[in-house]
Structure 1
Amino acid sequence: MTDQDGAGGIGWPRRSRRRGQGELESQVLAVLQVAPGPVGAAWVQERLEGDLAYTTVMTILSRLHAKQAVTRERVGRSFVWRAASDEAGLAALRMRRVLDGQGDREAVLASFVTALTPDDERLLRDLLGDAGAAERGDAGQTEPGESGDRRTEPGESGDERTESGDGRMEPPADPEG
């Protein structure tokens, strides 16, 4: 195959586009997630886009195994592979690896949090609240009629609310009204 339009020079092989970082890992993980069970590397290779070499697929699987995103089991002289994480889990592993490589974790996390959109910040707060509740053993325990995702406004504390006659939590009565 040669490049006749001059982009790579006449007679030079056309270069395929460069994949984004982690793109192949995500593709391999996606293939494993739809697999009927543990599968071999050749099975994965057949279902990936492009003409990837078997050794390339094995390298990707080995890297995913090192990141604990896939599991493997020896069957005969080879391995069969299974997804242990989804794409979100793989992204979280990458984020953790970047954080682990930094000297000042607090500064990195502070910078990350200040760059979040208000919606992402609210989501992160909710997730951290859920994780804290799970650690305390009160996960999923909300008052009747409460969704559990109510965000406290500045200057407001959850302790000021009172239980109504029907079990719902309501804000305190206005002392001036």
Structure 2
Amino acid sequence: MHGLGELEAAVMDVLWREGIPRKVREVLERLDTGRQLAYTTVMTVLDNLHRKEWVDRELDGKAYLYNAVMTREEAAARALRHILDTSGDPHGVLMHFVASVSDEETDILRGALRKKRRR
């Protein structure tokens, strides 16, 4: 995901898959990175994600429960928005993107644009 390191993205994947707040230990147990990670490493990653406003946290006894502040889809949309904003040529980017989408994705885009116009 744009703006996240490899380990941050793996932690976010756990929170998105789970769909409920999780403690550091629970995230660590569910991580599948192909390497053994220390509890403090995952705690630091979650703290960084909190600072970057990707997760919120709530004290539960002596430990924090961490939860994603946006869905995976919202995060992807935010990344796309950032790409358009920083591309220097959003029209060109959109034209290349539209040329790459499938027929099904074209139908989804058309439907979304119709809904947006009705607002």
- Whether TM exceeds 0.5 here: the answer is yes
Report if the CA contact (8 A) 1:99-1:108 is conserved. Answer: yes
Q: Between Structure 1 and Structure 2, which shows a larger proportion of helix residues?
A: 2
Please identify the structure whose Cα radius of gyration is greater: 1
Root mean square deviation, CA, Å: 3.1
Q: Which of residues 37, 40, 45 in structure 1 aligns to 2:23? A: 40
SS in 2 for 1:39: coil
How much has 1:93 moved relative to structure 2?
Answer: 2.5
| Residue 107 in structure 1 maps to residue 98 in structure 2 | no
Extract structure 1 runs of 4+ deviating beyond 6 A: none
C-alpha distance in structure 2 between counterparts of 1:101 and 1:56, whole Å: 32
**Pair 126,32 (structure 1): closer, same or farther in 2 beyond 3 Å:** same
For normalisation by structure 2, the TM-score amounts to 0.66
How much has 1:41 moved relative to structure 2?
Answer: 1.9
Report if the CA contact (8 A) 1:69-1:86 is conserved. Answer: no
Report if the CA contact (8 A) 2:50-2:57 is conserved. Answer: no
**Pair 88,110 (structure 1): closer, same or farther in 2 beyond 3 Å:** same
What letter is aligned with 2:71? Answer: D
For normalisation by structure 1, the TM-score amounts to 0.49
How many residues of Structure 1 are paired with residues of Structure 2 in the alignment?
112
For structure 2, list consecutive stretches of 5 or more residues without a partner in the other structure.
none
How much has 1:124 moved relative to structure 2?
Answer: 0.7
User: Partner of 1:72 in structure 2?
Assistant: 57
